[in-house]
Amino acid sequence: MADRNSRLKWPQIDGIISDLDGVLYRGNASIPDAIRAFGEWKAGGLPFCFVTNNSTHTPDDVVRKLDAFGLAIAPKDVVTSAITAAEFIRAKHPDASRVYVIGAPSLVKAIAEVGLETTDQKPEVVVMGLDRQISHDKMRIAVEAISHGAAFVGTNPDLLLPTAGGFEPGAGASIAAVAAATKVEPLIIGKPEPHMIETALSRLGTARSATLMIGDQVPTDIQAGKRAGLLTVLVTTGVPLREDPSLAPPDFIVSSLCEIEVAPAQAGCARQRRA
């Protein structure tokens, strides 16, 4: 793992792929340094793309949220686990037509937009994302469907999500419960799998060797970046760092995105580094 900030040697950076929750905001509260850094990178012409495991977001939702924080982006700058999961199910199960969805309206919408019916009647696929109205009955339906042979897909394995006041259970908590009940491991679409990273890379058109992956979680963000062949940056503004020797460590650790040196140096972040 790299030494801390004053001794870090940053590579050439031509593009950035970044997580959202815990990096640019916590719940509905922005992380000012991160908003400033991305604003200055945008002004300097550095391309970036956001990849979010949180299946409750649509790209338009993210655009509106970041705009309220003062960062203007376009829907094409966002890759979500909900959209990626729907596209994966359509491609991986071309003969399937019925999907049982546990998740937010954004996940239901993504499934419908690829031509699949959302139903609890004999589904061929069960897909689970973050559902803040999760219930025993929803989990019962999922367990029964999977036990009868339905494919099991999870948007992401995050156990915790950062909020303005602390943390809340993530999609991974309920996915783990269904996996334990059925003894069937889900196929995970989001990070740490590299599916969304590959989509983001294709949109950026940058070389892997000159693209950074930024995230706040080693088990998901950092592992996804590593699996995609990117240099990785852990920012300590989100989920607390827990050492796990079985996981590949980040290449860099920062407490603020303003510590990342992009040439030419961006004025606001440069001032903070000198302060």
215 and 249 together in one domain? yes
**pLDDT reported for residue 57:** 85
Question: Alpha carbon of 164 to those of 11, 30, 75, 235: distances in Å?
Answer: 33, 9, 24, 16
169 and 214 belong to one structural domain: no
Strands 29-30 and 25-26 come out as antiparallel
If asked whether residues 89 and 167 sit together in one domain, one would say yes
- Whether residue 113 lies inside any domain: the answer is yes
Same structural domain, 112 and 129:
yes
What pLDDT score does 251 carry? 96
Q: Are residues 180 and 201 in the same domain?
A: no
The verdict on residue 108 lying in a domain is yes
Which one of 3, 14, 21, 95 is the catalytic residue? 21
Which residues does 265 contact at the CB level (< 8 Å), separation at least 6?
A: none
Specify whether 136 is located in the same domain as 122: yes
- Structural tokens at position 138: 């929803």
pLDDT for position 9: 85
Q: Is 21 a catalytic residue?
A: yes
User: CATH no. for residue 221?
Assistant: 3.40.50.1000
The number of distinct structural domains making up the chain is: 2
Q: For CA atoms 119, 123, 128, 134, give the dihedral sign.
A: positive
Domain identity same for 199 and 256: yes
Based on the residue annotation, tell me whether 61 is a catalytic residue of this protein. no
Q: What pLDDT does 130 receive?
A: 95
Domain boundary among 188, 210, 232: 188
The reply to whether 64 falls in a domain is: no
pLDDT confidence of residue 141? 98
> Which residue segment(s) compose the domain that 87 sits in?
82-188
Residue 130, in any domain of the structure: yes
Catalytic residue among 3, 14, 19, 158, which?
A: 19
- 3-state class of 162 per DSSP? strand
**Does 20 fall in a domain?**
yes
Whether residues 87 and 100 share a domain: the answer is: yes
Residues 225 and 173 occupy one common structural domain: no
Predicted local distance difference test score (pLDDT) of residue 269: 64
pLDDT, averaged in runs of 10, over the chain (275 residues): 56 96 91 96 96 91 97 97 94 95 96 96 97 96 98 92 82 96 96 94 95 94 96 88 86 95 60 49
pTM to 2 decimal places: 0.82
Residue 168 CA to residue 23 CA, distance in Å, equals: 16
Report the pLDDT value the prediction gives residue 268, as an integer from 0 to 100: 46
**Phi and psi at residue 148, to the nearest 5°:** -95, 10
| Final residue of a structural domain among 188, 217, 250 | 188
| Predicted pLDDT at 166 | 82
List the structure tokens of 214. 């930024």
Final residue of a structural domain among 188, 207, 225: 188
Please report which residue ranges of the chain form alpha helices under DSSP H: 32-43, 59-68, 81-92, 105-113, 136-147, 171-182, 195-204, 223-227, 267-274
Asked if the structure places residue 263 within a domain, the reply is: yes
